[in-house]
Amino acid sequence: MKKDTKRTVLATAQLVGAIIGVGVFGVPYALSKIGPVLGLAYFALLGAIQLLQHLFFAEAAIACPEKLRLPGLAERYIGPGAKHIAAVATIFGYWAGLLAYMVVGGTFLHILLSPFLGGQPFVYQVAWSLGGALLVYFGLDIVSRVDFFATVGLLVAMIALIAIGVPHVQPVHFFNTAITDLVLPYGVILFSLSGLPAILEMEDILKGRHTHYRFAITVGTLLATVLTAAFGYVVWGVTGAGVTQDAVIGLRGVLGDRISVLAAAFGFLAVSTSFFATAINLQSTIQYDYKKSRFTAWLLTGGVPFVIFLWGAKNFVSIISFSGAVFGGVTAVLVAMLYIAVTKKKLLKGNALGVPLGFAYLSIAILSTGAAYEIWTSAARLMK
């Protein structure tokens, strides 16, 4: 295999691994709220938006001679105020993600270990939250090695689950569905298809090969979108009305304990890769961008979501729906604005992506509306 091809495959795999994470487990439940046709429409629209977001972010990274993250890029090309908005959206989005990983990761550990150790899901959620945080603090080298193998295992397990589940799909489950929540699937699917944290790392892998860079982003995003949709429809088609928020418990009732163990193992791999990547990125952001000590950055990284978890935030799907629509939506709007700024300043000249700015403005309108509506509906639920 040629060196360029090898690097392109590696970069593509990194993006697929970054996208396919804990969010995929909320997709079957979300699809059951809107039915198969609207579900496909959501995937087509949000998959296209996320593909554009990844390409837009790559354009800003290519244009910038320094290795800046989103807050730095926002300040450079949009303005100082944008840096603070980006920082808030990034930090709160990471905290929401870590909270979701704590909740569902402990659930998967309970399925895997409770037959041997007993105990309630809450105990496993606390153990995973503390153990994962300690591993981040003491073992960054270990985390990088674990993350690579976990990503490989994650993809193998996901494809195996889809293959095993297909023969058990009951088409009637797709059509005995009433539309009960148009909003929740928006945030869940948007969250499940985001791979922005991997985009800058992909540039490092491909080292200035911009054509390969854009190709890897396009293939990686489309492949992850197809796999996520396939997983969502297969699990929903198997479990029907018994679909659960974490997808795995519902599979146990139909396919038995062995499949639920495989699914839980797949789930925990997805959670661990997402948890470690998110925690390390957030810890670095707090430590270096806000000049905090390593211990303080680590404590804020794991401590804030853990306190919120203990406070009672344990609804996995609601967490990722809100995070995807609000924090993910704000981040995506900033990314679209970056693309507009870079394009108008003609920083890439003849090597520009060439996507018309109208698509960027359209994505801003859709994402802003989605974020505002999610905030409004969440506030309405709290006031009841």
What percent of the chain lies above the pLDDT cut of 90? 38
Residue 123 has what pLDDT?
94
Residue 179 has what pLDDT?
81
18 vs 62: CA distance, rounded Å: 20
Q: Which residues contact 160 (CB under 8 A, 6 or more apart)?
A: 262, 266
Mean predicted confidence (pLDDT) in 201-223: 87
* Residue 248 predicted with pLDDT over 90: no
150 vs 159: CA distance, rounded Å: 14
Higher pLDDT, 379 or 120: 120
Mean predicted confidence (pLDDT) in 3-12: 82
Is 0.95 topped by the overall pTM?
no
The pLDDT-based confidence of 22 (bands split at 50, 70, 90) is confident
* Residue 255 predicted with pLDDT over 80: no
Higher pLDDT, 7 or 42: 42
Q: Which residues contact 213 (CB under 8 A, 6 or more apart)?
A: 11, 58, 62, 202, 203, 206
* Residue 139 predicted with pLDDT over 60: no
What percent of the chain lies above the pLDDT cut of 70? 94
Mean predicted confidence (pLDDT) in 154-171: 85
On whether the CB atoms of residues 60 and 339 are closer than 8 A, the answer is yes
* Per-residue pLDDT reduced to its tens digit, 320-352: 888 888 999 999 999 999 999 999 988 876 667
The CA distances from residue 269 to 29, 57, 147, in Å, are 20, 27, 9
Specify the residue for token string 């997808």: 247
Higher pLDDT, 86 or 255: 86
Residue 207 has what pLDDT?
74
* Residue 18 predicted with pLDDT over 90: no
Specify the residue for token string 């430590």: 287
On whether the CB atoms of residues 321 and 302 are closer than 8 A, the answer is no
Mean pLDDT of the chain: 86
- Does domain 3-383 match CATH 1.10.3720.10? no
The pLDDT-based confidence of 302 (bands split at 50, 70, 90) is very high
What number of CA atoms fall less than 13 Å from residue 260's CA on the CB side?
Answer: 24
Higher pLDDT, 307 or 349: 307
Would you give the end-to-end CA distance of the chain in angstroms? 60
* Per-residue pLDDT reduced to its tens digit, 53-105: 999 999 998 888 877 778 888 999 999 899 889 988 989 999 998 998 999 89
Higher pLDDT, 264 or 351: 264
Highest mean pLDDT among 12-26, 50-64, 162-176: 50-64
The pLDDT-based confidence of 265 (bands split at 50, 70, 90) is confident
The pLDDT-based confidence of 258 (bands split at 50, 70, 90) is confident
Residue 42 has what pLDDT?
95
Residue 143 has what pLDDT?
54
The pLDDT-based confidence of 374 (bands split at 50, 70, 90) is confident
